[in-house]
Amino acid sequence: MSSFKLTLLILLTSLSSIYAWVHPGILHSAGDLKRMLSYVNAGRAGTPSNQYSDYLLLARDYLSSDTYGMSTPVTILTQRAAFERDGTAAYQNALMWYLTGDKSHANKSIAIMDSWSSTIKSVDPAYRDRQLASSLGPFMMTNAAEIIRYTDAGWTTTGIQNFEFMLTNVFYPRLNDHSGSQYEANVGSGNTKAMMAFGVFTQNQTMYNEAIDYYSNERCSGLPLDISPTGQASESGRDQQHVQLGLGNLAESCQIAAVQGTHDLYGLLSNRLLVGYEYTAKYNLGYTVPYDASFQRCSAHNIGGPFPTISTSGRGRFRPIYELAYAHYVSTKKLSMPYTSQIIQQVVTEVGSGVNSRADNSGWGTLKYRIL
Ligand SMILES: *[C@@H]1O[C@H](CO)[C@@H](O)[C@H](O)[C@H]1NC(C)=O
Ligand SMILES: *[C@@H]1O[C@H](CO)[C@@H](O)[C@H](O)[C@H]1NC(C)=O
């Protein structure tokens, strides 16, 4: 091979591994936002839809309000609830800004993000939930940041830089810490989705690729560790809340990669995530599923396991995670998800995260993800 050809080959190989970042582009591309707006505009003009009904519920939620009273930011985070609420409020206000054009929503979102990013210095390394604190709420807030940054909302360069600094230097170090029994099951899949979102917002390909690798291979939260070939989740014996949280986390990671167009995570292991959704949907609808007691999460003993049978705890309390997977696998890929489909028909309008934490998954899937 001539040295010119060799140089060209090397150049092309390295170019092809540089992502053309899509912005806005964490959970929602510009096209996704436009689709939401089209349903909202049609609804305002008198054409009803489930998407529009869901929008009306979103608009009524206190976390979507431009008068939402945020918490007082702290320098060292030692609990997570307040940040999660603020992160969700920032995200919902960002969506409201896009869907109403009302600047007061953008301003509320920016005020929340700027107050936190100019104050927080660290997540306490001794805090038991340090990884959840660095993933769930920050993931929500990064979705807000992405929308605000790319929709002419008036966010200052200093605000954007502070936000990037916070992601890379406050939250990322906790997500990348594999010590102890962290980075497992739903905690690990939460870390992965947050790390992917941070990678997109900061355009850091190293960080993004690290997260992609965790999705596929992490030793206690990679896809094959989270969902067995039959669809059983590694926490199916623990309770249905954690199972659904984990499924939602995985789907959110898949969605980011789909929006970016870099990897088909949804399709990994012959659509393993679809199989996982269907298993859990079927069980939570009241049907019987097979249970293999040898398939357990890492460190199951730390949370009362290993579990000999599937858990009835939380059974039938559907978390807002189903629309996202359904939109991809059924509406886009034309695959079949009969049990997930039953849940969607029962729920009709998926709202934000429920009883345990507002910030567990992105929610409002009927408005955000439903295509047809
Ligand atoms: C939003 O914030 C900008 C900059 O601080 C301010 O000029 C503007 O009046 C605010 N708009 C609303 C509707 O609050
Ligand atoms: C990109 O992410 C890596 C971790 O994956 C981090 O070490 C590095 O500092 C980040 N780069 C920048 C410019 O922030």
| Ligand 1 contacts CB of residue 101 (under 6 A) | no
The angle that helices 157-166 and 130-149 make with each other, rounded to 10 degrees, is 160
> Given the CA of residue 66, which atom of ligand 1 is nearest to it?
14
The domain ranges of the chain are 23-298+308-369
Residue 233 forms beta bridges with which residues? Answer: 227
Angle at 236 between CA 233 and CA 240, to 5 degrees: 110
Tens-level pLDDT at each residue, the chain (372 residues): 445 454 544 444 444 468 899 999 999 999 999 999 999 999 999 999 999 999 999 999 999 999 999 999 999 999 999 999 999 999 999 999 999 999 999 999 999 999 999 999 999 999 999 999 999 999 999 999 999 999 999 999 999 999 999 999 999 999 987 765 567 999 999 999 999 999 999 999 999 999 999 999 999 999 999 999 999 999 999 999 999 999 999 999 999 999 999 999 999 999 999 999 999 999 999 999 999 999 999 999 999 999 999 999 999 999 999 999 999 999 999 999 999 999 999 999 999 986 666 789 999 999 999 998
pLDDT score, position 183: 79
Q: How far is CA 152 from the centre of its chain?
A: 24
For residue 38, give both structure tokens. 């089209």
Which of the ligands is closest to the CA of residue 111?
1
Q: Could you report the per-residue pLDDT of 337-369, keeping only the tens digit for each?
A: 999 999 999 999 999 986 666 789 999 999 999
Alpha-carbon separation of residue 28 from 21, 138, 308, 372 (angstroms): 13, 16, 40, 16
| Fold (topology level) of 23-298+308-369 | Glycosyltransferase (1.50.10)
pLDDT score, position 32: 98
> Given the CA of residue 202, which atom of ligand 2 is nearest to it?
14
8 Å CB contact between 110 and 57: no
pLDDT score, position 181: 57
8 Å CB contact between 335 and 329: yes
Could you tell me the distance, in angstroms and rounded to a whole number, from the CA of residue 257 to the centre of ligand 2? 19
Could you tell me the distance, in angstroms and rounded to a whole number, from the CA of residue 224 to the centre of ligand 2? 27
Which of the ligands is closest to the CA of residue 97?
1
| Ligand 2 contacts CB of residue 207 (under 6 A) | yes
Alpha-carbon separation of residue 174 from 171, 227, 292 (angstroms): 6, 24, 33
d(C-alpha 30, C-alpha 367), whole Å: 15
Closest by Cα among 275, 254, 251 to 265: 254
Could you tell me the distance, in angstroms and rounded to a whole number, from the CA of residue 76 to the centre of ligand 1? 30
d(C-alpha 339, C-alpha 280), whole Å: 9
| Ligand 2 contacts CB of residue 210 (under 6 A) | yes
Dump strand ranges (E) for the chain: 76-77, 122-123
Could you tell me the distance, in angstroms and rounded to a whole number, from the CA of residue 235 to the centre of ligand 2? 32
pLDDT score, position 176: 81
Name the helix (H) or strand (E) containing 247.
helix 240-260
Could you tell me the distance, in angstroms and rounded to a whole number, from the CA of residue 206 to the centre of ligand 2? 6
